[in-house]
Structures are given as structure tokens and as C-alpha cells.
Amino acid sequence: MAGLPRCIIPDSIGREAGVASRCYPLKGNQPARLRRGDVFTVDTSIRLCDGALSNLSIPYEPLLPGPAGTLFEVDATDCVTSVSRGRPDLDRRGPDDFAFDQGQNETHCRNVYFTAMATYESFRRALGRPVAWAFWREGSYPPLRLMPFAQQALNAYYDRSEAAIGFGYSPAGGDSDLADRRLIRFTALSSDIVAHEVTHALIDGLRPDYDMPVHPDVFAFHEALADVVALLSRFERPGYLAYLLRESGMTFLQGRSLISLAPELGRLVRESGLRSLDVDWTSAGTDQPGKDLPRYADAPDAPHARGGLLSSAVFEAFLGALDRRIGPLIQLAAPTGSSVGRYLLEQVQEIAARTAEHFLAICVRALDYCPPAAILFSDYLRAMITADRLLAPRDRHGYREQLIDAFRRRGIYPEGIDVVSEGELAWKPPEVPVYPIPGLALSELRYDISPILPLSAAEIRRQARALALAIDADPRLARELGLRDPGLAGPGMQFSAPEITSVRPTLRVGPEGFIDFSIIAEVTQNCDIRIDDQSVVRHRGGATLILDPRGTPALIVRQRIDNTARLTAETEYVRKAIAERRMMVEDGRYVPDRAQRRGLCAGH
């Protein structure tokens, strides 16, 4: 492509090397060793006799007191006294030596650590590789700090600049008539909130450019996926279905508690969950397919309200698929008390857990098939369909059908398509002739004990250079990736040279045993558009490139940087965000205001 400068390999690409030394030991696609311990099934609103606690198995890693490992470190420093409330030593105390009690500080430390590690493992298993934190740099791989007593407020936040997740605590306050206002509540004891915030950190590690709000869908996507992960993760905790059955009996799929995030804190501040999804499935306790649902075209800009549209669609699809699978078993098990009835309920619990795991894997794995920046809800639908088709071609249980229907009824689908179907939604292969890229075949990679664990930062840069050389040598591939000649930029805008932002080998196992090896690479290009006399706003485009085991481009998820309509719409939205003081100037460029960003994460 005439005038297109050679691709740049940024220094930040070396952060991915940290996964080889910081991830827990793996044996195949499973942790080599497990650690067991309790967490709150949802939060402290459930009684112990009703399944308040669930015993989890999480990956084992050697721990220092805190607990402190290589991926997570619990910092129990109190925000008021600046004194640590304790440093439990999980390697010297077994689970039987400890009574799980919300009045003990060690319980807070254990709940955030076990829930965080379980959430990380869900992502690692779905993606087929460990996740590097966004704040890692080559040679510097600190753990993510989990702070159970970080602030006096019923809020929680993830902050990349602090490499930390802070959980707050506070009395219920004057907004609540349902609780003793003198009693203190702790967000660290809500497994929902812990999973939600850790998901923010994982998305940031996978897609750091989703931190630039050039479209209302961007931050809303963060909130939606974090809610979905929190709600689906409940089904992997053994006490959850038992609680649902006690609460609602055989009609538990119509229970409002399924779609209510963090119910205890929600009742304190608004007499309901912190967020309750708007799904057909649970409305008035009956299925009402004709119900009027919120539409994407009418969605507000506020991230939580807008994100609720996406999370509601995903969770409604999950409930529909689950009902199809377990409905006959529940009918058979209705005469409770018999050994057959108990066996059938065990099968219901197992199927519910597997279905939730599959939906969670679809949601997480789709991140690899999303564009590099400024994600739209319709992009995410396409990514979910593409990701699941690759590993589960047959869709035996109709999961993709349920997702497509739930999104369609809310008006979430790409512009320019006439039929909302799997074939139309799935990303297409490249339109140009493709060939294996030298140096990127599985047989040519240099790795540690597995292709998903890079040998070194130097090996990651070698792989990036191999991709850069292929793009530099083939103008057709550069055009297919949506790259633009910087010399053709218009007045008030400037295009950068392309960058190889990431190269991530991944090894995934489908639900029926199908094994897929791919390399997920991002090639990006920036466009700086001047907003005023002193500052610009950075827009980012490019493509996510999926390479097969031979190093041949199999899929290209393109996001053109020279799409004038897109740039105009994004610039107008940024001007609105600036006017509302949601963005600030830093080094001559508008970026999200840090206080606003933390407030967004806290605004459960």
C-alpha cells in the first residue's frame, strides 16, 4: 500500500510474557492442583441453612500470608485506620481450621481471594490461555491487589493505575427502611460484586482499548459483561440451586432472585437488587413472549442502564436454553421425597451448571473475536456466534438460536443485514487470497511447556515482527485489515503508523472435545482528531486477526480507521462527554476522567 509506513512493535507487547511465570501450574487444559474453600454463594442475604456458603475448588498456587500469590494479593489495610485487619495464611491453615463468619476479617480476605481466583479460572478455561493484567509491563508483573476495606462506601471499583480492586463498607444509611442502620455491610462479602469487579480487570487485560468511551456502548459493554459473568458464575457454586429450590420450589426459573445482582446491598439502597435484568422469562412469574422489551434504538447513554439491555438479552437466552434442557426432568421430579426425585434434581443441578459454564464460555471466548476498540453491542453478538460455531458446530441445544432471538427482539443486530441468522452474523473469512505467514505456524513457535505460555518477551516480539513483515509485504492484506495511508489524512486529523498490539497463541477445547489452536493478533492504527486549540481525541481502528495452526489468516474482524461516518459519530459523542466533564486533558489528549471512571465502576 503506497505511503503506508512499516508496522510498529510497541514496548507494551512484552507484558504478555508475564503469564508464563505468574499463572498457576497447568496440566493440559486444567490446573495441576486444586485448593478448596468456602465463599458466599451470592452474599450474606442467604441464611446458612438455605445454602449461604458454597465450597469451591480453585487453582492452587503457593501463597504468602494475605493471602498473596502471583496473580492476586489481598491487602486488608483499613482505609480509616491505615492498619491491616489481618493476613491469613491459607498454606498453614486448612479449611477445617477456620469457621467462615462475616464477623471475622479473615472471612473477607478468603471470600475475595477464592471468588477472584474462580473468576480468573473461568476466563482462562474459556479462552484457552492465561490473561495478562493491563498494568503489567515487560519484566514487571505484580499481582492485582484486592482490598476488602478500601473505602467507607457501599461501592467497589477497579483501578488500572493502582493495580487494585477496592471494596467498600458502610452502614446502610438513611435510604433503607429494611435494615438496622447501625449495622455495617461489606461489598467484599458479595461474591456477585467480587466477580463483577474482577471481570472489569480481566476485560481490561484482554482489551485495554475498551477504556476509551467514544461510543455509549463501550462502557456499557464493560458493565453488561461483568453482570453476566457474576450471574452465570452462581450456577457453578453448589449451594445456589439448593437455595433456588428452597426459595421458589420447582418454579425456580421464574424467580426474581435469578436476575437480581447483589440482593443484600440492593435491598439496602433501593429495595431490590443492585441491578435487576429485564427479561421476558421471569416477568410476572410466567413466560410472556409478546412482552414489550426495551429497544436498542431507545437505550439511554448511562452505562448501567444501557448495559442492562445486553446483559438481559444474554441471560434471557440462558434461561430459555436451560428451561428446554431441564423442564422434563423437573416435571418428573415433582413428586419430591423419592430416591428417583432426588436423583433427577441432582441431574438438574448438573445440567444447570454445565449450561451456565457453556454460556459463560461463549461470553468470554467472544472477546477474542471482537474488534480492537470502540465495541458495539452488535459486534459482540457477531463475536459470540462466531466463537461458538468454531468450537461447537452443531449447536445441539439451540444456545445460538436463543441468543440470536433475544438480541433480535431488542433490536440488537448489525446494520446492513436483511436476515438475522447464524450465517449472516458470523464473521467471514478474508476476501483476499491468504497464505501461511512465515514464523507463525504452530511448529515454528518457541514456548515454555505449552504453546499458550510464551518462552519470553523476545519470542512475543519475534512473532509480532513476523506478522508485521507479512503486512508490510502485502498491500492486499493491509487493505483487508482496514489500515490507512497516514499521508491521506484530512484537515484536523492525523493517522499513525500501524501497530501490532498483541499476539496471543490460544489452545481451546470445545464442549464435545473439539480442540482448536489459533493465534489471536491485533493490528491497530490511531487517528487523532483535533477537538480544540490545545487538545485532540484519539480514535482507534484496525483489526483482530485469527490465524490457524499453519499461520494462515482464517478470520479478520475489521474496524476501519477511515470510516468517516464512524469517526464523525465518535467525535460528536466525545464532545458531549467533554461537555459533561466525563473526560479530561492529559498530555494534550482527552482521556476518561479517572474519578468518573472509578465512579462508574462503583455505581452498582
The answer to whether 524 and 541 have CB atoms below 8 angstroms apart is yes
Q: Which pLDDT does position 274 carry in this prediction?
A: 53
In angstroms, what CA-CA distances link 513 with 354, 451, 575?
Answer: 14, 18, 49
pLDDT single digits (tens) 51-82: 889 999 999 999 999 999 999 999 999 988 88
User: Where in the sequence of the chain do the CATH 3.10.170 domains occur?
Assistant: 35-206
Q: Which pLDDT does position 267 carry in this prediction?
A: 56
Q: What mean pLDDT is predicted for residues 30-39?
A: 92
Q: Which pLDDT does position 492 carry in this prediction?
A: 64
DSSP calls for 150-175: EESSS-EEEETTTTEEEEEEEE--TT
CA–CA separation, 67 vs 86, rounded Å? 10
CA–CA separation, 261 vs 193, rounded Å? 8
- Nearest CA-CA partner of 575 in 538, 537, 533, 534: 537
Q: Check pLDDT > 50 for residue 284.
A: no
Q: Tell the residue number behind the cell numbers 424467580, with chain if given.
A: 255
CA–CA separation, 417 vs 196, rounded Å? 33
Give the relative orientation of helices 105-127 and 191-206 as an angle to the nearest 10 degrees.
40
pLDDT single digits (tens) 404-462: 999 999 999 998 888 899 999 999 999 888 899 999 999 999 988 888 999 999 999 99
For residue 468, what pLDDT band results from cuts at 50, 70 and 90? very high
pTM: 0.92
CA–CA separation, 75 vs 85, rounded Å? 9
pLDDT single digits (tens) 544-583: 999 999 999 999 999 888 888 888 888 888 888 888 888 8
Q: Check pLDDT > 90 for residue 585.
A: no
The CATH-assigned architecture of domain 35-206 is Roll (3.10)
Q: What mean pLDDT is predicted for residues 336-353?
A: 78
Q: Check pLDDT > 70 for residue 295.
A: yes
Cα angle, residue 184 at apex, residues 226 and 238 outer, rounded to 5°? 45
The answer to whether 301 and 313 have CB atoms below 8 angstroms apart is no
pLDDT single digits (tens) 300-319: 888 888 998 999 999 999 99
Residue 508 three-state SS? strand
Give the relative orientation of helices 339-365 and 239-248 as an angle to the nearest 10 degrees.
120
Q: Which pLDDT does position 596 carry in this prediction?
A: 66
Please give the mean pLDDT across all residues of the chain. Answer: 86
Q: Check pLDDT > 60 for residue 266.
A: no
Q: Check pLDDT > 90 for residue 288.
A: no
CA–CA separation, 183 vs 340, rounded Å? 45
CA–CA separation, 517 vs 504, rounded Å? 11
For residue 259, what pLDDT band results from cuts at 50, 70 and 90? confident
